Amino acid sequence: MASSMRGLTQFIADIRACRVKELEEKRINKEMANIRRQFKDPQLSSYQRKKYVSKLIFVYILGYKVDVGHFEAANLVTSNKYTEKQIGYLAMTLMLHEHSELLLMVVNSIKKDLEENNEYNNCLALHAIANVGSNEMAETLGPSVHRLLISPTSPNFVKKKAALTLLRLYRKYPEVLPVAEWAQRIVSIMDDEDLGVVVSVTSLVMAMAQDNLDAFSVCYQKAVDRLHKLIIDREYAATYSYYRIPTPWLQVKLLRLLQYYPPSMDPTVLDVLQKVIKAILNNSVEVASNVQQNNAQNAILFEAIGLAIHLDASSAMVTDAAELLARFISSKETNVRYLGLDTMAHLAARSDSLYSIKQHQATIINSLRDKDVSVRRRALDLLYSMCDTDNAEIIVGELLRYLKVADYGLREEMVLKIAISTEKFATSYKWYIDTILQLISSAGDHVGEEVWYRVVQITTNTDNLQEYASRAVFEHLRQPQCHESLVKVGGYILGEYGHLVANEPGLSPIEQFQALHSKSPYCSAPTRALLLTTYIKWVNVFPEIKDHLVNVFERYRYVLDAELQQRACEYYALATRPQEELLQQMCEEMPPFPPRGSALLNRLNKKHTDTEDGRVWIIGGKEANEDQFRKGRKATVDTNVTGANGAAATSGGGPDLMSLADLDLNGPTGLMAAKPVLNSSPSIDKWYEKLCMSNDGILYEDNAIQMGVKSEYHGHLGRIALYVGNKMSVPLTAFTASVTGYNPDAVSLTFAKIPSNTIHPKTQAQHVIHIESKKPFEGAPILMISYLAGSLTSINIQLPLLVTKFFEGVTLTQADFFERWKLIGGAPREAQVVFPITLDASGGVDLVKNKKILTGHGFSLLLDVDPNPLNLVGAGVLHTSAAGKVGCLLRLEPNKVAKLCRLTVRSTSEEVAAQVMQAMQKPLSKNSAL
């Protein structure tokens, strides 16, 4: 690192000694002049250059403009000395913007440092890209950064920095990097021994996995496994203990990563995860006296509660957690109160029942008066989330009361939340209108346009609300003080529905007109324009005040505002036409608005879109969150745009753009996982076929590993023990095994334990898979193995698990056989195929082989059914847990002369018949006996 530079220290001391700004500027100008002069000297030593560039950096940090030295900094970057290079890079990254053209000068130097076999220079180059990485750098340097990340020879520091540099490039320019292709290799680094590397690469995985859930799915298992190691096995290097807590940052990241995925279906993984969360909850019982330890512990605790809620909001674990939260929200520590309220809002967002939260309603309402605005805000969010029809009147009432004294920064959001809750949970129309009008009149300036659009929209669409709304809004208009938003609501509602109440005392047309028109002078032009529209509507329904109204139009014909003038002229002409048909047609009652999403919600959700780590829940009740998830996280931005357009359309009754709101701009979110590409070779096929008919044997072998299988089946249950041997003299790391390509409703496969991620040299690891056949299933599942030994190797092969594994032979007499054979009948419950066969060495049908195949697939041979000794007849029954037993009969009729063979399978299940036929045809047609 740069050793001290005396000239620089002196310069800084000089500047600190300047007591007034002018002196400081003078000193800096003097120095800048000196530096300019020095830079002209071709003999300038590299030490001098470093010193002057350092001074420039200091001047820049002080906030002065620096327009020299870029070239010198670029020059320093190419230096052979670390300290000079470091200052050069610092100057580049601090003083240049990522779009600066000057950066192009250094791209080549960065590339050189990146590819050099010198870890310190690698790191400096990575820092530079991580700080100012541009689009161009992503394209030209992205692959090199990726190489440094995955290279087995990269030191830990290079790996960490490469991971985060890649993260920066990914966040800026995701399309430049082939992420799906890199996924498996990147995830495998989560098994690295160095926890610094793991925490960095986990950040990278978190960002990439959010957009590529399937490609990164293995990270789920890795995260669970790592948490188990840290929390339960307490397996970690001592230096990673932070106040006795194992690397809290990594734990928090892993717990968050798991929330990006839907809860795992694998009972083994889920079981481990539950143990982990339980252990975290238990650890929190003991409150540490040390602040750091306490904070670190709580950081993990709150994240774990979040995960528990995500997994199942109605689990016993969450009930326990809710009790903890209840204690937290009245804690003495402000941070804990804040986080308690925040997490409770998460619970409210997901929970089916708000009961446990409502018990603490009083405490939460009190938190609106907390000393800290941050806590008040959380209380507001929680109240909004826990609002329902039962408590809406109380909560909204409290919020309205609090609104008058609330922080200015909070008011706009409060107004939105009050408006939404009022609309959503109103038990009577009267209450809705009263509350909303009170809200508009008391919050005044903080009421966004969306709020009053929504009132109009709801009133228009609800027939029996219109009279009451007219009366209520008129009452507000009669007050001497009346906010402009209220005038707008009044203008619209009285214009449309004023005539409904015009016969009531005190509400006559002239009184309505006077109430509204007296507010006009204090209103802005758009509001006055709206009032003109109200007046033309009144010309139609209130002929008795037509003169007053025409008078107004008359006067407005001469105002300067173009919009007002035009409206006035048009309305004047319309009102003074002798025939009234046109007027009547134009002033027809507004048709109801088509149903649409609330613009208020869109407005509120907009707040939460600017985040790199996707939100796993939003403020609001369960319903709001379900909507959110259906849309998918990325969708929020798009829907906001359409929502905003839609809101604008409500105001003037212009062309209806609302149909846009229904457009789904996002397409299907759940991408189907692409089927993995199978490894294939004649040996793999041979091993597989052999295992289809026997329970034990070799499954796969190459230079590095060998895999064998031992299996057993009883009824509908089965068990495969998979032996993986490491043949090399180096350990296999980041080992992962998973099974895919099957329908989990028909057959379940679970590993008894999460496979250990290391296999030591010349040793064997055993992994047990439990299997249950629930219904007849198709094909064979795919076993996916991957491991790291220098580079990442992945092997995808079929697991010899066909439906026939769950067959048991049955013995039938000839009569029984034919009775059942006929009972089942032909297609579709019969599958039949004729295929060529090769004869054995002696030119005959290989009867021994055929028998072996039949019995290998679980059929009993029925010897006395068919008189032709070459023909074979078999019967078996398939065991399943959900679909019960399925019988299956089979006839095999080879024809020596034609070298053909006919296979007929009949079963009470069409699916089984077809599957059995498919499973047996291939081995039967082969020549060599297996």
Question: Of 612, 685, 745, 819, which lies in the binding site for other proteins, with binding defined by CB under 8 A?
Answer: 612
Instruction: Please give the residues from 346 up to 405 whose contact with other proteins meets the rule CB under 8 A.
Output: 371-375, 377
Question: Of 334, 680, 756, 814, which lies in the binding site for other proteins, with binding defined by CB under 8 A?
Answer: 334
Look at the block and give the residue holding tokens 């895919």. 740
How far apart are the C-alpha atoms of 496 and 589, rounded to whole Å? 7
Nearer to other proteins, 160 or 454 (CB): 160
Q: Which residues pair with 794 in a beta bridge?
A: 786
Identify which range of 84-92, 137-145, 552-560, 881-889 contacts other proteins by CB under 8 A: 84-92
Question: Of 14, 98, 211, 701, which lies in the binding site for other proteins, with binding defined by CB under 8 A?
Answer: 98
Nearer to other proteins, 132 or 322 (CB): 132
Question: Of 26, 30, 36, 97, which lies in the binding site for other proteins, with binding defined by CB under 8 A?
Answer: 97
| Contact predicate 187/222, CB 8 Å | yes
> How many CB atoms are closer than 10 A to CB 461?
15
How far apart are the C-alpha atoms of 287 and 280, rounded to whole Å? 13
Q: Is 680 in the site for other proteins (CB under 8 A)?
A: no
Nearer to other proteins, 240 or 700 (CB): 240
660 CA to centre of own chain:
25
> How many CB atoms are closer than 10 A to CB 533?
17
- What is the residue-wise DSSP string for 249-268? HHHHHHHHHHHHSPPP--HH
- In angstroms, what is the minimal distance from the CB of 62 to other proteins? 9
Q: Is 625 in the site for other proteins (CB under 8 A)?
A: no
How far apart are the C-alpha atoms of 272 and 231, rounded to whole Å? 11
- In angstroms, what is the minimal distance from the CB of 85 to other proteins? 10
- In angstroms, what is the minimal distance from the CB of 779 to other proteins? 42
| Contact predicate 500/542, CB 8 Å | no
Q: Which of 220, 219, 232, 139 is nearest to 186 (CA)?
A: 219
Instruction: Please give the residues from 890 up to 919 whose contact with other proteins meets the rule CB under 8 A.
Output: none
Nearer to other proteins, 462 or 640 (CB): 640
Q: Is 338 in the site for other proteins (CB under 8 A)?
A: yes
Q: Is 168 in the site for other proteins (CB under 8 A)?
A: yes
Question: Of 503, 611, 703, 729, which lies in the binding site for other proteins, with binding defined by CB under 8 A?
Answer: 611
How far apart are the C-alpha atoms of 614 and 918, rounded to whole Å? 46
What the block records as the tokens of 285 is 């019982």
Question: Of 7, 18, 48, 58, which lies in the binding site for other proteins, with binding defined by CB under 8 A?
Answer: 58
Q: How far is CA 207 from CA 166, 248, 791, in A?
A: 11, 19, 23
Q: Is 674 in the site for other proteins (CB under 8 A)?
A: no
- In angstroms, what is the minimal distance from the CB of 371 to other proteins? 5
What the block records as the tokens of 514 is 């006077």
Q: Is 616 in the site for other proteins (CB under 8 A)?
A: yes
Q: Specify the amino acid at residue 155.
A: P
How far apart are the C-alpha atoms of 488 and 524, rounded to whole Å? 11
How far apart are the C-alpha atoms of 890 and 904, rounded to whole Å? 6
Q: Specify the amino acid at residue 701.
A: E
Q: Which residues pair with 876 in a beta bridge?
A: 809, 888
Q: Is 43 in the site for other proteins (CB under 8 A)?
A: no
Question: Of 40, 42, 63, 352, which lies in the binding site for other proteins, with binding defined by CB under 8 A?
Answer: 63
- In angstroms, what is the minimal distance from the CB of 54 to other proteins? 6
Q: Is 45 in the site for other proteins (CB under 8 A)?
A: no
Instruction: Please give the residues from 581 up to 610 whose contact with other proteins meets the rule CB under 8 A.
Output: 607-608, 610
220-243 as b/e, with b when 16 or more CB fall inside 10 Å? bbbbbbbbbebbeeeebeeebeee
**176 DSSP 8-state letter:** G
What mask, x for binding other proteins by CB under 8 A, covers residues 126 to 165?
Answer: xx--x--------------------------x--xx--xx
- In angstroms, what is the minimal distance from the CB of 417 to other proteins? 15
Identify which range of 81-89, 536-544, 596-604, 895-903 contacts other proteins by CB under 8 A: 81-89
Max Cα distance, the chain (Å): 117
How far apart are the C-alpha atoms of 690 and 800, rounded to whole Å? 9
Instruction: Please give the residues from 234 up to 263 whose contact with other proteins meets the rule CB under 8 A.
Output: 237, 239-240, 242, 247-250, 252, 256
Quick one: CA dihedral 492, 497, 503, 504, positive or negative?
A: negative
Q: Annotation-wise, does 52 bind a ligand?
A: yes
Nearer to other proteins, 641 or 834 (CB): 641
Nearer to other proteins, 625 or 798 (CB): 625
Q: Annotation-wise, does 739 bind a ligand?
A: no
Instruction: Please give the residues from 420 up to 479 whose contact with other proteins meets the rule CB under 8 A.
Output: none
Q: Annotation-wise, does 677 bind a ligand?
A: no
SS3 770: strand
- In angstroms, what is the minimal distance from the CB of 593 to other proteins? 31
- In angstroms, what is the minimal distance from the CB of 323 to other proteins? 20
Q: Annotation-wise, does 241 bind a ligand?
A: no
- In angstroms, what is the minimal distance from the CB of 200 to other proteins? 6
How far apart are the C-alpha atoms of 137 and 140, rounded to whole Å? 5
Nearer to other proteins, 407 or 664 (CB): 407
Q: Is 40 in the site for other proteins (CB under 8 A)?
A: no
- In angstroms, what is the minimal distance from the CB of 442 to other proteins? 24
Question: Of 26, 36, 81, 634, which lies in the binding site for other proteins, with binding defined by CB under 8 A?
Answer: 81
Question: Of 94, 288, 394, 550, which lies in the binding site for other proteins, with binding defined by CB under 8 A?
Answer: 94
**746 DSSP 8-state letter:** T
Nearer to other proteins, 192 or 303 (CB): 303
558 CA to centre of own chain:
57
How far apart are the C-alpha atoms of 739 and 29, rounded to whole Å? 70
Nearer to other proteins, 199 or 749 (CB): 199
Instruction: Please give the residues from 648 up to 667 whose contact with other proteins meets the rule CB under 8 A.
Output: none
Q: Which residues pair with 764 in a beta bridge?
A: 725
Q: Annotation-wise, does 7 bind a ligand?
A: yes
What mask, x for binding other proteins by CB under 8 A, covers residues 682 to 721?
Answer: ----------------------------------------
Q: Which residues pair with 65 in a beta bridge?
A: none
Q: Annotation-wise, does 53 bind a ligand?
A: yes
Question: Of 144, 154, 203, 915, which lies in the binding site for other proteins, with binding defined by CB under 8 A?
Answer: 203
Q: Is 288 in the site for other proteins (CB under 8 A)?
A: no
Let me know the angle formed at the C-alpha of 557 by 554 and 560, rounded to the nearest 5 degrees: 145
Q: Annotation-wise, does 55 bind a ligand?
A: yes
How far apart are the C-alpha atoms of 6 and 541, rounded to whole Å? 89
Alpha-carbon dihedral angle through residues 309, 312, 313, 318, given to the nearest 10 degrees: -70
Judged by CB under 8 A, the number of residues near other proteins is 74
How far apart are the C-alpha atoms of 865 and 853, rounded to whole Å? 18
Quick one: CA dihedral 185, 191, 194, 198, positive or negative?
A: positive
- In angstroms, what is the minimal distance from the CB of 155 to other proteins? 10
Task: Please state the residue numbers annotated as binding site.
Answer: 6-7, 47, 51-55
